[in-house]
Amino acid sequence: MTSAEIRQSFLDFFQKHGHTIVKSSPLLPESPGLLFTNAGMNQFVPIFLGERSPDVSRWGDRVLAPAKDTRASDTQKCIRAGGKHNDLEDVGFDTYHHTMFEMLGNWSFGDYFKRESLEWGWELITKVWGIPAKRLFATVYSPNKDKGDPSDFDQEAYDIWAGIFTRAGLDPKVHIVYGNKKDNFWMMGDTGPCGPCSEIHFNLLPSDDEAAGRKLVNAGSPRCIEIWNHVFIQFNANADGSFSPLAAKHVDTGMGFERVAGIYATTGGFKNFSADPSNYNADVFAPLFRQVAQLSGKTYQGTVPTKREGLSEQENIDVAFRVLADHARCVSCAIADGILPGNEGRNYVIRRILRRGILYGKKLGLRTGFFEQLVAPVVESLGRVFPELQQQQDIVRRVIRSEEDSFGHTLDRGLAIFNKAAATGAITGAAAFELYDTYGFPLDMTQLLATERGLTVDTEGFEAAMEKQRERARAAQKKEVIVAATEGDASASYEATVFTGYLIDTDNAVEAVVTDVVPSGDDTFLVFDRTPFYAEMGGQAGDTGTAVVAGQTIAIVDCVKDKAGRHLHKVDAAAKAQLAGATLRGAKARLSIDLARRRAISRHHSAAHLIHWALRKTLGTHVRQAGTSKTPERMRFDFSHFEALTPDQLHQIERMVNEKVIDNAKVQCYETEFDKKPADTLAFFGDKYGRIVRVVDMGGYSRELCGGTHVSTTGEIGLIKIVAEMAIAAGTRRIEAVAGTAAYDFIAQREAALAAVNARLNAGPQDVMQKLESVLAHTKELEKQLKAFQQKAAAGLADDLAGKAVEKDGLKFVSAVVSVENPEALRSLGAQVLGKLGEGVVKLGADFGEKASVAAFCSPAAIKSGHQAGKIIQELCVKLGGKGGGKPDFAMGGGKDVAKLAEVLK
């Protein structure tokens, strides 16, 4: 079988057993708290937790072959780097860990349980695939095994396995191994669905000696590895460390696809176990190895080092081949799924992996710029299974290229700095930090380089330097902190303010009750039980307006939210003085917001959604919001993208959004459960969403989770005008735009400027360009004429000066202060004068405002008689309070005592 056939036979087997075949979910996880999708079960979490009914066959275009709703199977892209499950450091040094791998899996949602899961598993691998039973071992959960008490174990799993092995004529006592919590209780992360598991391990020793194989189970040997994990999901791990039982029992299995494919390839179909096993023997890696060999001219020989330092030349080459093959898959798949290399979180992990790859390429003699050449072989081997790779191939290449460009600039200098530090025998925290901060070396890359030399890095020192930098950054962007000090009981627990301001019409006045007065720093805030004031959130500015309390009108100048969800209404300075000492709690209030201002903010917020939609349509789905602000005056939208937008792209985006404005589609805002939101709703991962979320749907094409305020039809936006596009960080760009009246004002201003130009040129819109061209042509002509006159004048001046020469001992002498444009003109004038004199000495000076310049020229005969231009200038400069000198025939200099110039030259 090829790797593709192995994958397909797994899916076919489970389809036959009633499983719906679904697509891999993206590497960008939907579950909060995960860095990357790290297991096949991630996309089913809401079903396990009972938040969503099992409905996989109705998952729309995510279904590849429908069957039961309670059973699913797929191949899932997973990344295990940087998070709870982290294999990065082992990649390349062994043959069976990867950053990105495919996990084949089957799931039961409250349907079948341990027996079917294990029996089917056994049938697939021994009957369908023909793995020799004698080489297989099963682990079962035994929580107290480490404490020497194997009496408590997963009896049900044990009994099923005992039956299976006995039927196969094997001794269960030899083939079943107890596993502790670390090995046999599976958790996705610190929270989420979890449960005891049973793993299948494969003895890859040359001999099928059962006792020898058993010894290697869970012993970290490449000669006996886990190939399939069957998890019996029964609990939810809570944030406080406790476990709650789930309403139903589920099955979640995961098979290491590259492991099985690698073993199959190495052993000629599970038959000949003499060769060293390696995942990299699987044909999914072949196009990558071919490409690396071709680019580097080196040959892969499959050696595996036994230690991390002092590697042989071939070991270094083989590690580098494996690293590149692995990292190219990981980085390409991540980018195709919208995780671009960046400075933080998961984006930084991808940057680290890419930079690690570039470093290993260097070890193979590859020049930076090679990494993008590895994208094509990734697409060749995985593009059919993961079509997004094919669709996004061009973007993936360009992202990698721009990332390589920027790192390529600093890599060599960074390596020189590293070598210098290494020569001292230790890598200090300061050196590691400099490498990180100035040369872009991730800490683990510096550690890797250090390990190769048998050195260690002072990571504590590094962390301390990092912390200092963070403090500096924090201090630089310190925001106003709201401390909730209350009128009365400081320990009161607060109720969130009821927000009534989504639907406002002409009369937005709301009757409310003052629940608190909160002084904080220099400001005072009022809190009410309910309010139409939007509190600053998601980049949308807070509302302003008035509060009429006890007959007094108080100006509200801003509104923010505190942790308890209370809207804090900031009062202006005058009201602050009025409020001092007053007890307002319980007083009635009438609240109204500045409606025109709010409308302007909402227009900018809706415009931001349209621009986000158009950016993704035009540039690709890697575009993600990275920060945003919406005020009455304008909107700013920061997004991930790797290069400047062209004028054409900007024009296209502006046109697309304005067409949507003219379309006047309905904007619908509604609340729903997070898991029931429409499939294509944009949510900003990493944000923690509650169970209930708010969807903003504009015309059915733009759907985002958003708590902000919006127009009710797109036509209300009026007009959108992009006013700026710029870079704000590597891989992050910013668009600024204006909408509604702000857009009208912007255009009116531009038009006024243009009208002023027209008036000045005495032209109308039709002929302004023509007029301007003719003015420019005329100016050019005048400049040409002026230059000719200047040259003529200079020649005349040279004649004049030469005419005034004084003769002595057969030499002619000229000394004068002249008026010229610049020192260069002084020099050329002096040369012309000397030319006219024949033999002699010329001294010229000119006043350039702040500075006086002098130049001297001596002809050959003058030099013979002892005159030296250099000496003359030296002398003159000293007198002018400056410095200068030069050769005997020509010298220049200057000084700041401009007033002395004429006197000195005399």
Residue of the chain from 6, 35, 39, 435 that contacts ligand SER (CB under 6 A): 39
Count, residues near ligand SER per rule CB under 6 A = 10
**Nearest distance in Å: CB 280, ligand SER:** 21
Taking the least distance from each CB to ligand SER, the nearer of 27 and 231 is: 231
Please choose, out of 249-257, 305-313, 731-739, 801-809, the segment that lies near ligand SER by the rule CB under 6 A: 249-257
| Interatomic CA distance for residues 288 and 266, integer angstroms | 18
Taking the least distance from each CB to ligand SER, the nearer of 186 and 235 is: 186
Please choose, out of 251-259, 564-572, 719-727, 897-905, the segment that lies near ligand SER by the rule CB under 6 A: 251-259
**Nearest distance in Å: CB 73, ligand SER:** 11
Residue of the chain from 15, 139, 253, 508 that contacts ligand SER (CB under 6 A): 253
Taking the least distance from each CB to ligand SER, the nearer of 189 and 708 is: 189
From residue 196, how far is each of 114, 525, 814 by CA, in Å?
11, 52, 104
Please identify which residue in the block is written with the tokens 């590859």. Answer: 366
Taking the least distance from each CB to ligand SER, the nearer of 41 and 295 is: 41
Please choose, out of 246-254, 358-366, 609-617, 702-710, the segment that lies near ligand SER by the rule CB under 6 A: 246-254
Please choose, out of 153-161, 252-260, 330-338, 649-657, the segment that lies near ligand SER by the rule CB under 6 A: 252-260
Taking the least distance from each CB to ligand SER, the nearer of 40 and 620 is: 40
Taking the least distance from each CB to ligand SER, the nearer of 58 and 84 is: 84
Residue of the chain from 252, 337, 388, 543 that contacts ligand SER (CB under 6 A): 252
**Nearest distance in Å: CB 58, ligand SER:** 23
Please choose, out of 36-44, 344-352, 419-427, 581-589, the segment that lies near ligand SER by the rule CB under 6 A: 36-44
Please identify which residue in the block is written with the tokens 């130009």. Answer: 757
**Nearest distance in Å: CB 240, ligand SER:** 23
Please choose, out of 39-47, 582-590, 792-800, 856-864, the segment that lies near ligand SER by the rule CB under 6 A: 39-47
Q: What is the CA radius of gyration of the chain?
A: 38
Strands 811-818 and 840-847: parallel
SS3 state at 739: strand
Q: Quick check: 131 and 100 in contact, CB under 8 A? A: no
Please choose, out of 62-70, 247-255, 665-673, 840-848, the segment that lies near ligand SER by the rule CB under 6 A: 247-255
Burial annotation 718-745 (CB, 10 A radius, 16+ → b, else e):
bbbbbeebeeeeebbbbbebbbbbbbee
| Interatomic CA distance for residues 390 and 687, integer angstroms | 29
Binding map of ligand SER across residues 177-216, x = CB under 6 A, - = no contact: ---------x------------------------------
SS3 state at 721: strand
**Nearest distance in Å: CB 571, ligand SER:** 54
Please choose, out of 248-256, 493-501, 609-617, 764-772, the segment that lies near ligand SER by the rule CB under 6 A: 248-256
Taking the least distance from each CB to ligand SER, the nearer of 184 and 714 is: 184
Provide the CB-side half-sphere exposure for 203 (13 A, CA). 21
Please choose, out of 37-45, 539-547, 788-796, 830-838, the segment that lies near ligand SER by the rule CB under 6 A: 37-45
Using CB under 6 A as the binding rule, the residues of this chain from 105 to 124 that contact ligand SER are: 105
Vertex 110: Cα angle to 106 and 112 (nearest 5): 60
Vertex 834: Cα angle to 831 and 837 (nearest 5): 155
**Nearest distance in Å: CB 108, ligand SER:** 12
Question: Residue 302's closest CA among 452, 92, 90, 2?
Answer: 92
Taking the least distance from each CB to ligand SER, the nearer of 39 and 820 is: 39
Taking the least distance from each CB to ligand SER, the nearer of 202 and 289 is: 202
Taking the least distance from each CB to ligand SER, the nearer of 198 and 628 is: 198
**Nearest distance in Å: CB 180, ligand SER:** 16
Does residue 229 belong to the site contacting ligand SER (CB under 6 A)? yes
Give me the residue whose beta carbon is nearest to ligand SER: 254
Please identify which residue in the block is written with the tokens 């396990």. Answer: 48
Q: Quick check: 439 and 413 in contact, CB under 8 A? A: yes
Taking the least distance from each CB to ligand SER, the nearer of 22 and 645 is: 22
**Nearest distance in Å: CB 39, ligand SER:** 4
Q: Quick check: 549 and 517 in contact, CB under 8 A? A: no
| Interatomic CA distance for residues 51 and 44, integer angstroms | 10
What is the Cα 370 distance to its own chain's centre?
21
Q: Quick check: 798 and 836 in contact, CB under 8 A? A: yes
| Interatomic CA distance for residues 421 and 555, integer angstroms | 61
Residue of the chain from 21, 79, 217, 231 that contacts ligand SER (CB under 6 A): 231
Taking the least distance from each CB to ligand SER, the nearer of 45 and 695 is: 45
Question: Residue 847's closest CA among 877, 811, 823, 879?
Answer: 823
Provide the CB-side half-sphere exposure for 657 (13 A, CA). 30
Residue of the chain from 34, 35, 41, 619 that contacts ligand SER (CB under 6 A): 41
In the DSSP assignment, the letter for residue 540 is B
**Nearest distance in Å: CB 238, ligand SER:** 19
Q: Show Cβ contacts of residue 40 under 8 Å, excluding neighbours closer than 6 positions.
A: 74, 76, 78, 103, 104, 105, 107, 252, 253, 254
The DSSP string of 327-371 is HHHHHHHHHHTT----SSHHHHHHHHHHHHHHHHHHHTTPPTT-G
**Nearest distance in Å: CB 694, ligand SER:** 32
Burial annotation 482-521 (CB, 10 A radius, 16+ → b, else e):
bebebbeeeeeeeeebebebeebeeebebebebbbbbbbe
Taking the least distance from each CB to ligand SER, the nearer of 226 and 523 is: 226
Taking the least distance from each CB to ligand SER, the nearer of 232 and 637 is: 232
**Nearest distance in Å: CB 500, ligand SER:** 45
Lookup: tokens for 734: 């910013």
Taking the least distance from each CB to ligand SER, the nearer of 253 and 546 is: 253
**Nearest distance in Å: CB 93, ligand SER:** 22
| Interatomic CA distance for residues 104 and 74, integer angstroms | 6
Lookup: tokens for 542: 């807070």
Residue of the chain from 26, 40, 740, 893 that contacts ligand SER (CB under 6 A): 40
Taking the least distance from each CB to ligand SER, the nearer of 40 and 731 is: 40
**Residues in the site for ligand SER, rule: CB under 6 A?**
39-41, 105, 186, 229, 231, 252-254
